Each structure stands twice: as structure tokens, then as C-alpha cells.
Amino acid sequence: MKKIRRNLKLEQEAFARAQRLTAFLQPEAKAKLDAVTSAMLTHLVSGLKGADFYVVTQKEVRSRFAGLSINQSNLLNFYVLVEVAQILSDKDSLNERLEGMNEMSEMTSLRLQMTMDRRSKFISTLSQMMTKISTTQDTLVQNLK
């Protein structure tokens, strides 16, 4: 399995963008996005291998929000993926505590490793989305010139 290096600067920027987006969300939309986040976490726990998290998130978002444009859908997908990544990032501190106690069972260790691998996939997906957003912005600026 390919190990993805953690990019803290990218994570901080993604978390900051999602936080700014939160300020613009209506309570009803926030509740729907929380439900999508919960569904994504449930999907992760189910342990389906080879799942494309972007596609799964897109499906969940579109099922709860009718009539979204592609850009709106991408923005909400980004928001959900960041929320899931934030939740999974808390597993890091949990992992450190459990390792310090040396009482972790083999099964718990495997599950935690699987969760961390999925987190890496999320970070990779977030990176790809941020690159897409940047490329789109650059293209728009070029078209305006």
C-alpha cells in the first residue's frame, strides 16, 4: 500500500477554508452536511476496500441537496471531506495515548491502522480538490486577462 506523506500546511489550509465556509451555512444545510459526514464515517467503519471517497461523498451530498450546480456540489463535497478528515485527525492523539499505554489489542491496532490509511486517502482527495480549485481559479484569471 502506498504511504501518503502528511502535509500539515495543506491540512491547516483545508481546515481554515472549511471553517470559513461554516460561517455561510444555514442551520438546515449544516444539519444535512453533518448527516453526510456521519454517513461517510459509517461508510469508513464498514471497511469497504477500494472505495472512491469523493464519489461516495458526492452521492451522499446529491441525495440530500437537490438541484446543485457542479461547483456547489464540489464545495459541499470538500466541506464534508474536511470534516471527516478533522474527525479522523483526532485518532492521531488517540493512537499516541493507546501506544503509550501498551494495552492495545491486535484487532484494535489493525482497525486504527485501517482508519489512518483511510485518513491518508481523504487527505489525498482533499489535495486533489484544492489543486482543482486552484487550477479553476487560475483559468478564470487568465480568461479575465
Torsion of CA 132, 133, 139, 141, to 10 degrees: -160
Instruction: Tell me the average pLDDT of the chain.
Output: 78
Which of 45, 36, 42 is closest to 82 using CA atoms? 36
What's the pTM? Answer: 0.59
pLDDT class of 19 with cuts at 50, 70, 90: confident
pLDDT in tens, 67-108: 888 888 888 988 888 888 877 776 564 455 445 544 546 666
Lowest mean pLDDT: which of 27-36, 38-47, 79-88, 134-143? 38-47
Task: Pick the closest to residue 139 from 71, 92, 48 (CA basis).
Answer: 71
The pLDDT of residue 94 is 42
Alpha carbons 42 and 48: distance in angstroms, whole number: 11
Taking Cα atoms as reference points, which of 126, 52, 43 lies closest to residue 82?
Answer: 126
